[in-house]
Amino acid sequence: MKQTFAVSIGGAAGQGVATPGDVFAKILTRRGLHVNAYNAYQSIIRGGHTFLTIRTGPEKVTNMGDRIDLLIPLNQDTMNRHLGLLGSGAAVIYNADTIQPGIPADGVQLCPLPVSQLADITRNKVAQNTLAMGAGLNLMGVGFQPLEEVLTEQFKKKGEAVVNENVAVARAGYEFAAAHFKPFLNPLPMTDNRYAVLSGNVALAMGGVAAGVKFYCAYPMSPSTGVLHWMAAHARKAGVIVRQVEDEIGVINMAIGAAHAGCRAMCATSGGGFALMSEGLGMSAMIETPVVVINCQRAGPSTGVPTKTEQGDLWQMLGAAFGDYPRVIAAPTDIADCFKIIPEIFNIADRFQCPGLVLCDLLLSEGRLSVDPKDLDFNVPIDRGELITAAGGPPSGPDRDGIYKRYLITESGVSPRAIPGVPGHVHTAATDEHDENGVLLSDEYTNPAKRRAMMEKRMRKVAGIEAAVKPPELIGPRNADVTLIGWGSTKGVIQEACEILHEQGISANQLPVRWLVPLKGDAILDILKGCQHTIIVENNYSGQFARYLRSETSYVPDGYIRKYDGEPFMPHHIAEAVKEQLAGKTNLSVPRHEIMV
């Protein structure tokens, strides 16, 4: 089993959970450790309960794990909710002035801090947080200097006095812990690696800029808003126009306008906003103007649970907009993949002049992961397909000659696309069905032969798209006892569940699906044919992927693991469900989330 360590900080919104989180993440990655952070919170600005878990280790940490090693409750509520989750070897650091500990399990170390004696709480409102950070790092076997450095950076802008005060408070916590508490058995290791820490939203935005996005627009909606924030903050530097639009209908149409004029254009939203965009996707397909739309799923339906995760929008994406048209749908499998997938899908959307949809979710969008900076290389392949941006290049000709046909019928279904402003290529792009020249076939001109030809031209692109993406691959031992099939964000947690099962004598492998359209059904069937016991794992109620796979391939798995309580899977949820299914107890498991957040 990999060596990992998890620290959880909880409190009411507004109590400053984020700062210690950032400080820990910085210190850990500077130590050359990987981190994975997940914040469980509610859609309120003050109050409620926020619970941030940062898990670290020398190897890649793909999910929040099953165990909390260090709990830092900032209020009584957090102590009451979570003390019971701690097992032997864990510790809890808390403000002894305001919080009663309750009765912990055997082997759990209680670490009360006499906050009012250690710091002047009338001046420093977050003294308990700073003291706890100092104490925690001491127990973890990390020296004081990294904390001093990070605090200095954090408070530099506020002046030397504030820096000194915070460093002094942190030192008091550090020294108090050294004198009164037992350190953890295994001090945190150190490596020479250096990692960047980023959220999926930042990765999506950076992936967009790497792909050459010049136009980004959005309407704020959790959990996609982080993409807008990064884009807006970096717009001037990166030369990207970023617009906040009046609604998501405006967003998709504005993005398509910019794309039509020749930019790579992108937008992100969540399920509700995506629903408003669906008519626009049909336009993108019909006028053959590529656009990339990201849906960061949250728990639905309707306003749903804005701050909780789910994989409940698959069928919305599959069915978005009326009529048949070619589309591409990709689901990034981790935060680093959020960066990678954007340039890939832009190339496909550009080559096949169709909408490219990215199905992300809150878990990735708002989670944070350490990534090797080399994996954030902006020097990605860029392929804009058959795009005419200047006069002269064939096919061309005087505007009246009709030599240039925007919707030329070709074998691939792709017609060379001229952008407005290019002499010799004047044409109209129409959402009404049209002929090769873009002339409307509507009403009295309707011509079944032409309609059929245009329909077939567009749909021929599907074959090209099929060839452009790779089929999924099985990870883990062949001939395993059980094969877990997942899609998108569940890859990391399924991987860890496989490791847990392996330790318990059950061999398990995983088929993670990244391209949803095209699905590559034949390749998937080929793989699954040789599997002994297959289970589809997904974060929704009805088994949306299971139904999709069945509709595309007629494949029916042996079992299902589903979760739709708003929280992501933890590894033990999956491992235990697999065991009950292999024992023949059920073929549908819905694990209960034990952490009350």
Partner 1 sequence: MATTAEVSRPLTLADLKGKVDPDWCPGCGDFGVLAALQKALVELQIPQHNVVTISGIGCSSNLPGYINTYGMHTLHGRTLAVATGVKLANHDLTVVVTGGDGDGFGIGGNHFIHTMRRNVDLLYIVMDNQIYGLTTGQTSPTSQLGMKTKSMPFGNIEAPLNPIALALAAGATFVARGFSGEQKHLTELIKEGIQHKGFSFLDAFSPCVTYNHDNTYQWFRPRVKKLEDEPAYDSANWYAAMEKAQLWGEEIPIGKFFERTDIPSLHGAEPVLAQGGPLAHRSLRLPAEMSRGFAEELL
Interaction with partner 1 in 190-249: which residues (CB under 8 A)? Answer: 194-198, 202, 206, 209-212, 214-215, 217, 234-241, 243, 245-247, 249
Site for partner 1 in 84-113 (CB under 8 A): none
The answer to whether 93 touches 132, Cβ cutoff 8 Å, is: yes
Q: Give the nearer residue to partner 1 in terms of CB position, either 13 or 419.
A: 419
Pick the closer one to partner 1 by CB: 107 or 423: 423
Q: How far apart are CA 592 and CA 594, in angstroms?
A: 6
Three-state SS at 185: coil
Q: List b or e across 567-582, with b for residues whose CB sees 16 or more CB atoms inside 10 angstroms.
A: bbbbbbbbbbbbbebb
Which 279-308 positions form the footprint of partner 1 (CB under 8 A)? 279-280, 283, 287
Q: Cβ 355 to partner 1, closest distance in Å?
A: 14
Nearer to partner 1, 67 or 234 (CB): 234
Residue among 171 and 260 whose Cβ is closer to partner 1: 260
- Paired tokens of 419: 């952008």
Cβ nearer to partner 1, comparing 49 with 425: 425
Euclidean distance between the first and the last CA atom of the chain, given in angstroms as a whole number: 27
Subset of 349-368 contacting partner 1 (CB under 8 A): none
> Are residues 231 and 242 in contact, defined by beta-carbon separation less than 8 angstroms?
yes
Give the binding range for partner 1 (CB under 8 A) out of 421-429, 509-517, 548-556, 588-596: 421-429
Tokens of 54: 């940062």
Closer to partner 1 by Cβ: residue 208 or 326: 208
**Neighbour tally for 389: CB within 10 Å:** 12
Between 11 and 30, how does the x/- string for binding to partner 1 read (CB under 8 A)?
A: ------------------x-
Asked if residues 69 and 41 have their Cβ atoms less than 8 Å apart, the reply is: no
Q: Quick one: tokens of 512?
A: 């993670």
Q: Which of residues 423-462 bind partner 1 (CB under 8 A)?
A: 423-432, 437-440, 442-445
**CB closer to partner 1, 13 vs 275:** 275
Site string for partner 1, 325-354 (x = CB under 8 A): ------------------------------
Task: Report, in Å, the least distance between residue 300 CB and partner 1.
Answer: 24
CB 422 within 8 A of CB 388: yes
Query: What is the spatial distance between Cα 489 and Cα 495, in angstroms, rounded to a whole number?
Result: 11
Where in 114-133 is the site for partner 1 (CB under 8 A)? Answer: none
State the minimum distance, in angstroms, from the CB of residue 447 to partner 1. Answer: 13
**Shortest Cβ distance from residue 445 to partner 1 (Å)?**
7
Closest contact distance (angstroms) between CB of 517 and partner 1 is: 23
Nearer to partner 1, 88 or 389 (CB): 389
Which of 177, 369 has the CB closer to partner 1? 369
Nearer to partner 1, 19 or 507 (CB): 19
Q: How far apart are CA 509 and CA 499, in angstroms?
A: 9
CB 407 to partner 1: min, Å? 12
Answer for which of 33, 86, 172, 256 binds partner 1 (CB under 8 A) is 256
Interatomic CA distance for residues 120 and 113, integer angstroms: 13
Beta strands in 245-327 (DSSP E): 264-269, 291-297
| Of positions 259, 293, 328, 336, contacts partner 1 by CB under 8 A | 259
CA neighbor of 70 nearest in space, from 4, 121, 157: 4
Minimum separation from the CB atom of position 351 to partner 1 (A)? 15
Cα-to-chain-centroid distance, residue 136: 29
Torsional sign, CA 64, 67, 71, 76: positive
Site string for partner 1, 372-401 (x = CB under 8 A): -x--xxxx--x-x----xxx-----xxxx-
Q: Phi and psi at residue 221, in whole multiples of 5°? A: -160, 120
Triad 392, 351, 327: Cα angle to 5°: 140
Count of C-beta atoms within a 10 Å radius of residue 517: 21
Site for partner 1 in 564-583 (CB under 8 A): none
From the CB of 62, what's the least distance to partner 1, in Å? 18
Cα(440)–Cα(434) distance, integer angstroms: 4
| β-bridge pairing 417-418 and 241-244 | unpaired
Beta-strand runs (E) in 286-383: 291-297, 328-330, 355-361, 368-371
CB closer to partner 1 out of 238 and 497: 238
**Of 353, 358, 293, nearest to 325 (Cα)?**
353
> Out of 18, 110, 419, 455, which residue is the one contacting partner 1 (CB under 8 A)?
419
Least separation in angstroms between residue 428's CB and partner 1 is 3
Give min distance, CB of 488 to partner 1, in A.
23
In whole angstroms, the minimum distance from the beta carbon of 494 to partner 1 comes to: 26
Closest to 285 measured CA to CA, from 395, 434, 389: 434
Q: How far is the CB of 267 from partner 1 (least distance, A)?
A: 10
Question: Interacting stretch for partner 1, rule CB under 8 A, among 65-73, 100-108, 416-424, 523-531?
Answer: 416-424
- The residue among 239 and 505 lying less far from partner 1, judged by its C-beta, is 239
- List the one residue out of 497, 374, 484, 590 whose CA is nearest residue 62: 497
User: Least separation, in Å, of the C-beta of 32 and partner 1?
Assistant: 12
Q: Which is nearer to partner 1, 399 or 526 (CB)?
A: 399
Euclidean distance between CA atoms 278 and 285, whole angstroms: 11
> Least CB distance from residue 202 to partner 1, whole Å?
7
Strands 291-297 and 355-361: parallel
Residues 29-88 that bind partner 1 (CB under 8 A): 29
Contact assessment for residue 255 and residue 287, using Cβ atoms and an 8 Å cutoff:
no
Which residue of 28, 40, 265, 266 would you call a contact of partner 1, by CB under 8 A? Answer: 265
Closer by beta carbon to partner 1, 188 or else 369: 369
| Amino acid making up residue 459 | M
Q: Which is nearer to partner 1, 173 or 424 (CB)?
A: 424
Decide: residue 279, CB within 10 A, 0-12 exposed, 13-18 middle, 19+ buried: middle
